[in-house]
Structure 1
Amino acid sequence: MTPDPDDSRLRLTILGGYLGSGKTTWLRHQLFEGAFPGAHILVNEAALTPVDDTLLAAQAASMTLLAGGCACCTGKADLIAALRALCDTRSRQSAEMRGTNQIVLETSGLADPAAILAAIQNDGVLVHHIRVAEIVVLVDALHAAEQLHSEHLSRAQIEAADRIILTKVDAVPDDRLAAVKATAKQLNPAAQIEAAAKGLPHALSDLPEASAYALPLLSDGADPIRPTKIDVPEDVDWAMFSVWLSALLFARGDDLVRVKGVFETPAGPLLLQAVRRSVQPPELLPVAEKDRRNQIVFIGRGYESDDLRRSLAYFTRD
């Protein structure tokens, strides 16, 4: 969107998308390429043990972490407080001292961007100091069919978008990608639709004609998706851990929507991620100021946290 030169409010971009859609990967590339110059980055993670702020630290000019609650509901008060603090800091600076007027909020994969927009518009302070410039929603083309058929939230996120980015498009055939694009267009005819692979822009031209998926009626009354953190013992047998994780994802991949963990290795901190049954290639991370290594976060439904801990302890015991 073209900013109004007479509008001095802070411009907020809300970055949304379902669990595992690639929000951090896309934002890292955007910042590296100079998009959102000097923007203050707000990173929201539903889990108490965050990872995404570590991934963004090298590219972000400044950052605030909001962990342990989703910004559209349980973490809404923390988000409002953080935005008010940024507004207060800016209002105390002279026009010459002010830097960027941009904020980018990377939401949790469990967040409804429309609820965040409403919270800002209904706040008597923020409505005068912040303008939501754009809602960008990422859609995982590899898992979109399953998510859109079963998850009310994944549809709500698309419906709230000004711009939709189809991600992982290099991992799906053109006919499937065309169906995902058609479905996104049906859910939100007004949104601009783009594509990305590993954070890089990807062309959407020359796709075959395709019909949108016939989506069933859904309610939002399913069991809530919750995060669970597990501390992995330092002396764990990593071969056995890998076998355990693979077996768990195979057996419970429909329930465990997202897995993220950082583990200490001789080469440095290693990021491990999975979306349902799909494990992504591990990635070496820069050394973080905060020690979050040897911890893994499961985000899903239909299981008890203690069951996961007992299963890991039993499987990796001597």
Structure 2
Amino acid sequence: MTPLDPGDEHLASRTGELLGSRHPVFAVATVSGSAVSVASRGAGVDADFEIASISKGLTGLLYADACDRHEISPESTLGDLLPLGDVPAAGVTLGSLSTHRSGLPSVPRSAQPLRRTIALWRHGSNPYGESREELLAHARGVRLGSPRTRYSNVGFALLGHAIAGAAGMAFVDVVRSRLTRPLGLEHLYLPATVDELRPAAVTGRSRRGAAREPWTGEAWAPAGGVRASILDMARLTAALLDTSTPGVAALDPVAPLGSRTQIGAGWVVTEVDGRTITWHNGGSGGFRSWLGVDRAAGTGVVILSATAASVDRPGFALLAEITRAKVP
């Protein structure tokens, strides 16, 4: 396909109907058995979007893969793998991080989350541009809460860097060697700075259309710093369904998350209309994303949008449509 190829026009049209007018720039992929379709509006099918917290799903795959390699175990601690010293966070296990039950907050107080949020609202600024060392400094001062379910960005960021520590590499190199190269994901990458963005990188916008700075940065990449094209996300989804992706055990639920919902290593597993859907969504300053699979039916959907308005409902709806077409 050429950069301007919109892909499957019927799929683009149906997705546009589900998304509505607030999403002028989007890309979508569906997988049904061996059939894979991709489409886009406002950008080429090889343009890359921020997938935001779907990055946690990738980190979950790398966690399960590192367990398979016997480099780590669920009982391994952050202090075993990162230079944290004798602080509370050092005793947190990787297994608890992978299921958001570590007691860590979403963002440490020392990272001034309110100030970051205000800067994002007012100026569209990137709130997550720190280095790995700055992230570790935040972790050394963090207070642990009770080990209950609590969605944690800093938890997954530290999990990714701990996996990298066990492998003796930087996190970006773990992603390259264990996911992008084996699966042929040519345009999936983790830019540390704006200068590392591809020419085909899409600019994200707020719900009102204001441009947002790209969320680049080394520190938080395992939690939300991945960018990818819809072609890559289609390949990833197909690999999740045919179990050829490293660490596919990350999709298996291991802990409760809420009513009719469980969690694997980062991946949410929910009962929807009698079917089991494994999924993750993402949201950054100017992007929203959703990836879901019905493993029993062999179907999957990815939606990437360059507008900060939820795409979760359209994602679930489109997945239900293609599943009904395959499994009446």
TM-score w.r.t. length of structure 1: 0.28
- RCO higher in structure (CA 8 A, sep ≥6): 2
What's the TM-score, normalizing by structure 2? Answer: 0.27
* Bigger strand share: 1
Larger Cα-atom Rg: 1
